[in-house]
Amino acid sequence: MFGKIIKRNIEGSKVFFKFENGEGRIEVINPFIINIFSGLKYDDHYSRAIEDLKVENCDFTVQNKGNYIKIKTDELEVRVYDEFKVDFYDKNGKVLCEDYKGERDPFIRRGNGSIAEGEGHAVEANKEKHKIEVVKKIFGDEKFYGLGDKTGHLNKRGYGYEMWNTDDPSPHVESHKSLYKSIPFFITLREDCVFGMFFDNTFKSYFDMAKENSNYYYFGADDGNLDYYFIGGNNICDILRRYTDLTGRTPLPQLWTLGYQQSRWSYAPETRVREIAKNFRENDIPCDVIHLDIDYMDNYKVFTWDNEKFKDEKKALKELKEDGFKIVTIIDPGVKKEKNYNIYEEGLKNGYFATDKDGVTYVNKVWPGDSVFPDFSEEATRKWWGENQKIMLDAGVSGIWNDMNEPASFNGPLPDDVQFKNDGRNSDHTEIHNIYGHLMAKATFEGIKKHSGKRPYIITRAAYAGIQKYSTVWTGDNQSFWEHLRMSVPMLLNLGMSGMSFCGTDVGGFSFDCTAELLSRWVQVGTFTPLFRNHSCIRTRDQEPWAFNGETLNINRKYIKLRYKLLPYLYDLMWKGENTGLPVMRPLVLHYSNDKNVYEINDQFLFGENIMVAPILEQGKTYRSVYIPEGTWIDYWTKEKIEGGKTILKNAPLDTCPIYIKAGSIIPNYPEQNYIGEKEIKELTLDIYSGNGEYEHYIDDGESFKYRDGEYTLYKFSIEAKEETIINVRKVNEGFKVYKSLKVVYNDNAKEVYFGNNKIEFVENNNGIEFNIPAEEGTIVIK
């Protein structure tokens, strides 16, 4: 399509190419990140993911090598050929990624599909040509990770996907090409290299990961610019750090958002909400959040309350908060078309709603019946929507749940020609669809930030790349199927590999009736998912922790309490994530990419670097094989030490989720609480596993942005196992209150303990010893 290179010239960080049939450019963003661009629609980037592209002024050279132009940074070499084919090498000349030089050549689909279609089978079409296509060569053992919330397995090789945010209530299975989110980013891992690829295009886009031909993979789109970023690095952590440098990181959330959350369509009226709250406290199950689904509203009108069901919502929310329950309310984009409804009238008067091609406000059906759709692509609308959040905050709401923002509609999909202002560009639905939910969440975030001054808590269903800056995400309407519990693990891991740390699924499953055993196993996974919310559909069986039997209740209690115990560790992970882009839930490949045994592990994951979880994901199963990666790991329940690099068989009766701790780990624990903030934490417990390691523990006020001005305390612990075990305690920053004491639980044998020169008394427990020391800097020696 581009033809031969005619001319090139360098301007700052960019090398411009004139081809026979078009123009393109390569930009050196930094020595590791290269942007490949051709303005097929707009002259420059028009990104909703990258809001602040930081181009480093770094040195690079450009040379004409005859049949290609070589651009070299300190870390990468880029070769640009005719047809705007681009290859990437590392600084030593090793090939990383090549454009496929042949034509696409899909496998043949034999026969006439109509007979199969007649019986209702889905039959795939033949090769589709897309306006934009970038085809990359397969060298051999490529694995692909990322691509957001797609169904199926961790490694995406051999599958094809589409980015078109879709609300499909049918059971999500591997044939679903798209779900609610569009995250056009993936990581390619080969035996000797790793790199990331971010295709920043909001139109419907396509990702074929060597499905149609095992010699290549490709991405493409129906419209927009050719605009993608090649991200180099030494390992997956580097790639994620750089991808999130571009698209943003998950900011530290309020601490309570990491607590347990209970939801259902719907807890209403108010008496039912209070009953749920009471049940938590009576059953001794910690809980921080109750969600109100659509039935709290007056006729599904957003930013209203049904005052028959909630007589005095302010009073109710205040009283619930006094007992530790924060309320999160659902807000959908569809605004009921109803005369004298203030939100509708205001939006109409100010032109805040999307229109049809003739400029008439576009109407479709959602929960409220005929509804109109705010044009979140326009700043004025986002501001207005942000201001409306105050209505909810004033009622005492603590967070907002954005749903149906693909946008979903009941009267057929929004036509392609629905019009959006797109901050002055005037675009149609084909361009805005995939960023509609993203921009709704952004508007919500900005409004809540402005009016509460606290770290906003938003959950969104639809998303585009970069959503992690504004919102946590959940994976939409799963079902109470074992299959969906199993799939939730690779799905959440790939969300993490797409920059999204704060994510979760509906624990217990949304549609269909849950069983006691399924909920027991699901809550074990949920304990380790950053967003830990049990949610279920209207008219399904009750699914609260107490809804089945005593055993299920006990299992829920055991794991929800474990979650609260691990909260400081989880909060530390979120804090580190804001600085590194690393997710909370990680596939083993993220830290053990040299071990080919882990590339396809779909049913185990790391919770940070120190904890590995190997849940039971099958009905009736009470044992499983567990792959233990290199190093020594300790069974969390039995404290048995296991040497890694092998597979073991683990017994796991219904109340046991296999959990392993890496040797040399220091895991901070909180005492039991009914909700976060119930107790002032004066003593931190350190759960210590002998070996060598370091650990940073972070504390702040848990809700404001003051940490960004230094109001936090950071401890640095290290452990070294020689003949004696030496544990160092340091305070790197002391900008927030500090603990008074540390309780050390040392999971190994010991004869004597010293803190500085003082001999410390200890007590023995089943697996080791416990002792207390003041929370001061110093050195602990355990003999």
Catalytic machinery residues: 403, 406, 477
Task: Report 399-418 residues binding ligand GLC (CB under 6 A).
Answer: 403
Is there a contact between 235 and 581 (Cβ–Cβ < 8 Å)?
A: no
**Which tokens hold the place of 113?**
């599909």
Residue nearer to ligand GLC on the CB measure, 296 or 592: 296
Residue nearer to ligand GLC on the CB measure, 296 or 384: 296
CB of 284 vs ligand GLC, minimal distance in Å: 27
What radius of gyration do the chain's Cα atoms show?
27
| 293: contact with ligand GLC by CB under 6 A | yes
**Which tokens hold the place of 760?**
């410390």
In a 10 Å sphere around its CB, with 0-12 CB exposed, 13-18 middle and 19+ buried, how is residue 70 labelled? middle
CB of 289 vs ligand GLC, minimal distance in Å: 15
- Tell whether the torsion through CA atoms of 211, 215, 217 and 223 is positive or negative: negative
Residue nearer to ligand GLC on the CB measure, 255 or 495: 495
In a 10 Å sphere around its CB, with 0-12 CB exposed, 13-18 middle and 19+ buried, how is residue 333 labelled? buried
| 466: contact with ligand GLC by CB under 6 A | no
Task: Report 732-751 residues binding ligand GLC (CB under 6 A).
Answer: none
CB of 302 vs ligand GLC, minimal distance in Å: 12
Pairing mode, strands 458-460 and 399-402: parallel
Residue nearer to ligand GLC on the CB measure, 36 or 302: 302
| 503: contact with ligand GLC by CB under 6 A | no
Residue nearer to ligand GLC on the CB measure, 84 or 265: 265
Cα separation of 779 and 783, whole Å?
Answer: 13
Residue nearer to ligand GLC on the CB measure, 473 or 659: 473
3-class DSSP assignment, residue 114:
helix
| 330: contact with ligand GLC by CB under 6 A | yes
The residue sitting closest to ligand GLC, measured at its beta carbon, is 265
Number of residues that bind ligand GLC (CB under 6 A): 9
Residue nearer to ligand GLC on the CB measure, 351 or 369: 369
The b/e string for 687-712 (b: 16+ C-beta within 10 A; e otherwise) is: bbbbbebebebbbbebbeeebeeeeb
Residue from 276, 294, 588, 663 binding ligand GLC (CB under 6 A):
294
E strand spans, 574-622: 585-586, 605-607, 611-613
CB of 403 vs ligand GLC, minimal distance in Å: 5
| 477: contact with ligand GLC by CB under 6 A | yes
| 306: contact with ligand GLC by CB under 6 A | no
Residue 485 to residues 172, 264, 433, 463: CA-CA distances in angstroms? 11, 18, 29, 22
Task: Report 246-285 residues binding ligand GLC (CB under 6 A).
Answer: 265
CB of 295 vs ligand GLC, minimal distance in Å: 8
* Cα angle, residue 724 at apex, residues 722 and 728 outer, rounded to 5°: 90
Binding mask 519-538 for ligand GLC (x = CB under 6 A): ----------------x---
Is there a contact between 48 and 64 (Cβ–Cβ < 8 Å)?
A: no
CB of 471 vs ligand GLC, minimal distance in Å: 15
Cα separation of 334 and 404, whole Å?
Answer: 8
Binding mask 374-403 for ligand GLC (x = CB under 6 A): -----------------------------x
CB of 333 vs ligand GLC, minimal distance in Å: 12
Residue from 184, 259, 476, 568 binding ligand GLC (CB under 6 A):
476
Of 163, 179, 181, the C-alpha closest to 224 is 163
In the complex, the residues that contact ligand GLC under the rule CB under 6 A are 265, 293-294, 330, 403, 461, 476-477, 535
